[in-house]
Amino acid sequence: MKKTVLIKLMTILSVVSLAGCNQRNNFPIKSKTFVLVHGAWQAPYVWNTVRTELENAGQHVVLVELPAHGDDTTSPALVSIDVYRDKVIDAINKINGKVVLVGHSMGGVVVSEVAEAIPGKIEKLIFIGAFVPANGQSLLQLAGADQQSLLGPALVPSKDQLLLDVMKDSIINIFCQDGSSATQQLLLDNYRAEPAIPFTNPAVLTSGNFGSVNKYYIFTLLDHAIGINNQHAMAQAANIMQTYSVNTGHSPFLSKPDDVTKLLLQITQ
């Protein structure tokens, strides 16, 4: 009788122990607040699946809509990298404690400026297929050095030079060639021309602020917008030693959101 009870007790303890291990392996021990910043020609909708998956894993998520993107009606003549930066800072300042700040594409420049302004609020800074500037570099300079990108030849400036459009027949191949037909249609349905002024704004970054933040880079290996060589060069120049990869095009949160969620959780454990 005693032996039977002992065996049952040991079995229960083993199951509980395994469940605890599985939970620790799959999810961060502590809930984090993720602030997700979209890139150029996109808007917060691109993060929707990743947001849901993170929230299902017990995380808190804040999506930032940059001015003159998505449903925002700010004139492209009034935006700059500083304006984008201040919108993200305003969102972060409403959050208690530190955040995990994630930037994609052009959003990489934005989150870099945010980290420079409020380094004490950033627990981890994560770049996904993103531009990472050095002090004094503009997004235009970073993109101009990219020999693999298909974006440059597809750009169509507006007559007033305030907007940059992308030739319609190139949008999918540049931004989401590996997505499903439904995902690609979602991208087309939400497409807006991009404000041009922020592309020319030089970054202002210091080693004491931006340099002090813990940084991570997720390479997008099949990227047609930011070539993989340029991604590696920017990460190396910024001394980002902790890097990961997804086998996707420029928008992994659309084509393989599960992979992005898993990496974000892995990085923040």
Query: Per-residue pLDDT tens for 184-237?
Result: 999 999 999 999 999 999 999 999 999 999 999 999 999 999 999 999 999 999
- Does residue 19 have a pLDDT over 70? no
pLDDT at residue 269, rounded to an integer? 84
List, as one string, the DSSP characters of 66-84. -TTSTT----GGG--HHHH
Architecture in CATH for domain 31-268 = 3-Layer(aba) Sandwich (3.40)
47-55: average pLDDT: 98
Give the integer Cα–Cα distance in Å for 237 and 119. Answer: 19
Residues 6+ apart with CB under 8 A from 122: 98, 99, 101, 114, 115, 213, 214
Q: What angle do CA 103, 106, 112 make, to 5 degrees?
A: 55
E-state strands within 97-210: 99-104, 122-128, 155-157, 163-166, 194-195
pTM equals 0.89
184: tokens are 């690609």
pLDDT at residue 29, rounded to an integer? 53
Backbone conformation region of residue 101, classed left if phi is above 0, alpha if psi is from -120 to 50, else beta: beta
Query: Counting every residue, how long is the chain?
Result: 269
- Does residue 77 have a pLDDT over 90? yes
Give Rg (Cα) of the chain.
21
What average pLDDT does the chain have? 91
Place 158 in a pLDDT band, splitting at 50, 70 and 90.
Answer: very high
Write the pLDDT tens digit of every residue in 100-127: 999 999 999 999 999 999 999 999 999 9
